Amino acid sequence: MAIQDETIYPRTNDFETVYLKSIITNPNITVGDYTMYNDFVSDPTQFEKNNVLYHYPVNHDKLIIGKFCSIACGAKFLFNSANHTLNSLSTYPFPIFFEEWDLDKRQVASAWDNRGDIVVGNDVWIGYEAVILSGVHIGDGAIIGARAVVTKDVAPYAIVGGIPAKEIKKRFSQTTIDKLRQIQWWDWDADKIRRFLPAIMSGDIDRL
């Protein structure tokens, strides 16, 4: 019987769900407390290998994920090296094959367009097999639908879906969204969160 490390596997006898912060080794990936990833197909501890793609050190781009996020099985983060440059007359990545074409190795990153970091806010739910492209910023409290392809920024507390992902609706009224963004309950200590969990779980914004 496998020994369960509670810092990695928060649920008893569940080896498909992990706290991401505990298994990240790449210095260019930052994950907040309590953010979890579930994978019923592959080993969830292989998140960096299986879910963070084209994330090459030469770009120095970052994946930043906030606290209390829920990431479903198969969600993917596609980084800049997946973007063949549109500045060239050809989509072929000649600079990668610098030896073949007598090019300067230092120009290898010119093979793709650099759109920046991927930043995910707090309390974000990313659905099954959703794809987040490089340069995208997702606001706090947003929901990304299953198999959505997110090509542009997502507003806080927006629900998006489709290919490319488009906003379907806001989760709450603008008044409630503004209050939640001001309160930032995810930054409270664990004891305070426990005290206010009934209000959080029941949607009672006034009690917060």
Question: Which of the residues are catalytic?
Answer: 84
Pairing outcome for strands 76-78 and 131-133: parallel
CB 135 within 8 A of CB 117: yes
Q: What share of the chain is helix, strand, coil (3-state, %, to 5)?
A: 30, 20, 50
Bridging pattern class, strands 143-144 and 125-126: parallel
Residue-level length of the chain: 208
* Cα torsion angle, 132, 143, 47, 22, sign: positive
Structure tokens at 118: 């991927």
Report phi then psi at 82, rounded to 5.
-80, -10
